[in-house]
DNA sequence: ACCGGAGCCTGTTAGC
DNA sequence: TGCTAACAGGCTCCGG
C-alpha cells in the first residue's frame, strides 16, 4: 500500500493519540510479521513501555519508546494500523494488537491494531533504527534534498528511470503510484536511462518527485483498495491521479489516452505523447 | 552495475 | 453463474 504520503498520514493519525500512552500488553495473533527480536522477547520488551513519539522515515513508521528503543513498522503492500475501541470487533486480518493504557489526559484505553491482508508487513524492535534504515536514501521532501543531491546520486549510473525511482536507496518513500505520477509530471519516459538525462531533465525530475509526494500529502494520501487512515477516514488522492490507474482516460495535459505498460514487472502508466522515449 | 524474475501471501477482478 | 488466471500500493534474494 502505502507510499510516503500514506505513511505520513498514518504517522499524523497516530501521533496525537498514542504519544504518552503506555503499552500494557502485546497480543501476537500471527507472529510472521515480527522480524526482530523473536515474538516472546518483543512482547516482553514492549510491555510497560511508554510511546514518546511517532516519526516517519521513507515508508517506515518509527515509534520512539521511553526505554530508548525504537518500534519500526513497515506496511508493505496491504498493511495498515488502526486505532480502535477495544470493544470493536476485530477485522480477520488483524495480526498484532498493541493494548494502550488511558492517555495522560484521561482518554480511555485504546487498541493499536496491525492488520495486513497479504502478510508482507514487518515489525522491528531495535536499539538503533539505523540497523534497519541504514540503506535508505534521502527524504525527498526535506530541504536538503536539492537538485544537486539528486544529480550526485545519479552520477555514473545507467539505470532505467522507473526502477530507479522505486529504489529506496536512491530516494526514500517513492512507490509505484508516485513514480508514475512524477514521471508524467516531468514528461519523462519510464524506460529512459539516467545517463541520457540532461541537466534540465534532472531538474524537472527532482521537482516532479517532490510535487507528486507533496500533492499526495495535501490530498490526504490515496485510499485505493483497503487503505484508510488510523481513524477510519479516507484520503482523496485517488481522485487526483493524472496517470496512475487512468488507462484509456485522457491525459490532463494533451488529452491523449493514457497507456499501461509493464516495467520491471510493475504496472506503469504513461502518456505516450507527453512522455516520449527519447525526448529532451 | 543493473535488470528481471521468483518468492513471500491473500483477496479481488477480468476473462472465458 | 462458476472457475481460473492475472494482478495488486513492497522488498529481498538470486541468476544472468
A105-119, A157-171, A183-197, A222-236: range with lowest mean pLDDT: A222-236
> Residue A25 — left, alpha, or beta (φ > 0 → left; ψ -120 to 50 → alpha)?
beta
A245 C-beta less than 7 Å away from strand B: no
pLDDT digits (tens, 9 = 90+) for A159-185: 999 999 999 999 999 999 999 999 999
Question: Are the C-beta atoms of residues A144 and A171 closer than 8 Å to each other?
Answer: no
Which whole-number Å values give the CA distances from A18 to A2, A45, A102, A118, in the listed order? Answer: 20, 18, 10, 26
Q: What is the pLDDT of residue A213?
A: 97
* Residue A227 pLDDT > 70: no
- Pick from A22, A2, A30: nearest CA to A107: A22
Q: Which nucleotide is nearest to A169 (CA to C1')?
A: C11
Q: Distance from residue A224 (CA) to nucleotide C14 (C1'), in Å?
A: 32
Q: What is the pLDDT of residue A223?
A: 83
Hey, how many other C-beta atoms are within 10 angstroms of the C-beta on A169? 11
By annotation, the residues of A acting in catalysis are 2-3, 59, 266
pLDDT digits (tens, 9 = 90+) for A59-116: 999 999 999 999 999 999 999 999 999 999 999 999 999 999 999 999 999 999 999 9
Q: Distance from residue A2 (CA) to nucleotide C1 (C1'), in Å?
A: 35
Quote the pTM value.
0.96
Hey, how many other C-beta atoms are within 10 angstroms of the C-beta on A253? 13
- Pick from A114, A100, A108: nearest CA to A46: A100
Amino acid at each position: 500500500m502505502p507510499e510516503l504520503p500514506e505513511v505520513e498520514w498514518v504517522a499524523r493519525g497516530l501521533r496525537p493519540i498514542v504519544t504518552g500512552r503506555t503499552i500494557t500488553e502485546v497480543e501476537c495473533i500471527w507472529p510472521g510479521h515480527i522480524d526482530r527480536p523473536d515474538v516472546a522477547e518483543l512482547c516482553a520488551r514492549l510491555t510497560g513501555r511508554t510511546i514518546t513519539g511517532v516519526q516517519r522515515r521513507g515508508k517506515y513508521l518509527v515509534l520512539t519508546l521511553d526505554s530508548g528503543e525504537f518500534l519500526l513498522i513497515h506496511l508493505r503492500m496491504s498493511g495498515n494500523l488502526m486505532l480502535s475501541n477495544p470493544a470493536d470487533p476485530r477485522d480477520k486480518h488483524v495480526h498484532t494488537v498493541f493494548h494502550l493504557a488511558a492517555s495522560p489526559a484521561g482518554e480511555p484505553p485504546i487498541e493499536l491494531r496491525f492488520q495486513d491482508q497479504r502478510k508482507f508487513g514487518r515489525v522491528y524492535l531495535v536499539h538503533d533504527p539505523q540497523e534497519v534504515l541504514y540503506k535508505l536514501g534521502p527524504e525527498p521532501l526535506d530541504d536538503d534534498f536539492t537538485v544537486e543531491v539528486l544529480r550526485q546520486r545519479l552520477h555514473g549510473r545507467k539505470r532505467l528511470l522507473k526502477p530507479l525511482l522505486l529504489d529506496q536507496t536512491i530516494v526514500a518513500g517513492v512507490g509505484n503510484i508516485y513514480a508514475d505520477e512524477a514521471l508524467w509530471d516531468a514528461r519523462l519516459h519510464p524506460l529512459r536511462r539516467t545517463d541520457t538525462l540532461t541537466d534540465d531533465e534532472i531538474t524537472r525530475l527532482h521537482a516532479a518527485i517532490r510535487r507528486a509526494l507533496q500533492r499526495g500529502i495535501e490530498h490526504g494520501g490515496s485510499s485505493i483498495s483497503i487503505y484508510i487512515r488510523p481513524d477510519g477516514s479516507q484520503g482523496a488522492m485517488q481522485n487526483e491521479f493524472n496517470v496512475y490507474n487512468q488507462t484509456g482516460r485522457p491525459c490532463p495535459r494533451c488529452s491523449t489516452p493514457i497507456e499501461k505498460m509493464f516495467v520491471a514487472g510493475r504496472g506503469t502508466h504513461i502518456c505516450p505523447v507527453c512522455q516520449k522515449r527519447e525526448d529532451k
